[in-house]
């Protein structure tokens, strides 16, 4: 049983933009429209909002559009002022089929996917709209122009990328500056104790660039690996047990680096115990300590998980330079 702590939410600017995003945010991947029922989704979104979370992350591909339908219905019913939260969608993987133009970053799919997401989420505009992956078959200028046009039309407020290389982001920003387009201001990369290099090294020059780069990071707990739950196999009803997630189970538990990571998890848990906290809280708080992280997107299949992870906010002061050094020594040798 996790004690619910009264935490105070922090807000950070999204890169060099004027947008304020809660340091913890909440995403719908695997859970909404798939792993959990709609009443649990509603409880989760309300728990998040009540804790001061102002950013809800979604994508066309999550449960093939159902995650956005579920989130949209909850938002509609909530009565929350539209100005009090941010909602995103992401385009690339598609939600219908994989016929030509139903996936990718062509002008046609970027625009059609935006219209479809607005319909499912029942909102007039997306606060953030991401290119979910790079698309080498489409010129970056075509995608950038489509994003710019959506912003000019008021359908999107800010655009960004997810898992683009630093070179691709820099090129998009350069093209936008040259054409006087709205430039991408945010990237959504994976970041956790076991996945560090891109955020810490590859993107480093972009944080200082004139456009800047906010980061809304995903899988802070490595899909649950950093909770210790996969230490004795795959528990029933966990993400890696969910139907259709076999690919992720193999990726996480059969990767050549898996045994080393699994060996480090109890050592990280011991550090958490010394600090009087839990491993999930430590994992989330560690991400938050990086000043280049605008927001850590939390995922949860149960309300207790979300309330536990929200407690990470109370841990920041305890992560002193010497604790951070200890965590570096444990995680760096096994991290990508």
SS3 48: helix
Minimum Å gap between C-beta 12 and ligand NDP is 17
Contacts of 326 (CB under 8 A, 6+ apart): 271
Q: Which C-beta is closer to ligand NDP: that of 143 or that of 219? A: 219
> Which residues, other chains included, contact 238 with Cβ-Cβ below 8 Å and sequence gap of 6+?
224, 229, 230
Which ranges constitute the DSSP H helices of 188-257? 197, 204-208, 246-253
Residue 305 has phi, psi (to 5 degrees) of: -65, -45
CB-CB contact of 11 with 288 (8 Å): no
Going 286 to 288 to 289 to 290, the CA torsion angle's sign is: positive
8 A C-beta contact, residue 115 and residue 154: no
Give, for 251, the enclosing helix (H) or strand (E): helix 246-253
* DSSP one-letter code for 7: -
Residue closer to ligand NDP by CB (options 179, 289) is 289
As measured in angstroms, the least distance from the Cβ of 125 to ligand NDP is: 19
Residues 128 and 88: beta-carbon distance below 8 Å: yes
Rounded to 10 degrees, what is the CA torsion of 107, 164, 217, 212?
-90
User: Which of 49, 62, 85, 129 is flagged as catalytic?
Assistant: 62
- For residue 330, the minimal CB distance to ligand NDP (Å) is 18
Phi, psi values for residue 78, rounded to 5°: -65, -30
Nearer to ligand NDP, 57 or 135 (CB): 57
CB atoms within 10 A of CB 229: 18
State the DSSP code for 218: B
CA distance 79 to 192: 34
What is the closest distance, in whole angstroms, from the C-beta atom of residue 135 to ligand NDP in the complex? 14
Q: Give dist(CA 316, CA 245) in Å, integer.
A: 33
Query: Shortest approach of ligand NDP to residue 237 CB, angstroms?
Result: 7
Active site includes 62? yes
Q: Kindly tell me which of 244 and 325 has the beta carbon lying closer to ligand NDP.
A: 244
CA 52 to chain centre: 17
Binding site for ligand NDP (CB under 6 A): 27-29, 31, 57, 162-163, 188, 218-224, 227, 229, 238-239, 280, 297-301, 305, 308-309
Nearer to ligand NDP, 275 or 322 (CB): 275
- Closest to ligand NDP by CB, 71 vs 321, is 71
Active-site positions read: 62
């Amino acid at each position: 049983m996790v004690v619910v702590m009264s935490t105070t939410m922090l807000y950070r600017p999204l890169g060099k933009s004027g947008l304020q995003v809660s340091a913890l945010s909440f995403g719908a991947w695997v859970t909404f429209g798939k792993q959990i029922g709609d009443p649990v989704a509603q409880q989760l979104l309300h728990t998040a909002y009540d804790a001061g979370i102002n950013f809800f992350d979604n994508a066309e591909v999550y449960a093939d559009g159902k995650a956005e339908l579920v989130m949209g219905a909850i938002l509609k019913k909530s009565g929350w002022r539209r100005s009090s939260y941010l909602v995103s969608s992401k385009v690339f993987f598609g939600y219908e089929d994989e016929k030509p133009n139903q996936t990718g970053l062509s002008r046609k799919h970027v625009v059609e996917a935006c219209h479809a997401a607005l319909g499912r989420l029942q909102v007039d505009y997306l606060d953030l709209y991401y290119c979910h992956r790079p698309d080498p078959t489409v010129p970056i200028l075509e995608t950038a122009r489509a994003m710019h046009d959506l912003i000019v039309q008021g359908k999107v407020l800010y655009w960004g990328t997810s898992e683009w290389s630093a070179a691709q982001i820099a090129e998009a920003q350069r093209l936008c500056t040259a054409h006087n387009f709205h430039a991408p201001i945010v990237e959504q990369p994976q970041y956790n104790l076991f996945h560090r290099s891109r955020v810490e090294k590859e993107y480093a020059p972009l944080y200082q660039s004139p456009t800047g780069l906010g980061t809304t990071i995903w899988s802070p707990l490595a899909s649950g690996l950093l909770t210790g739950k996969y230490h004795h196999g795959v528990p029933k009803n966990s993400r890696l047990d969910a139907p259709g997630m076999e690919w992720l189970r193999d990726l996480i538990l059969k990767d050549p680096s898996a045994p080393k990571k699994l060996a480090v998890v109890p050592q990280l848990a011991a550090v958490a115990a010394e600090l009087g906290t839990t491993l999930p809280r430590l994992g989330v708080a560690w991400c938050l300590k990086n000043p280049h992280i605008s927001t850590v997107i939390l995922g949860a299949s149960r309300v207790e998980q979300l309330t536990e992870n929200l407690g990470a906010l109370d841990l920041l002061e305890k992560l002193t330079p010497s604790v951070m050094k200890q965590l570096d020594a444990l995680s760096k040798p096994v991290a990508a």
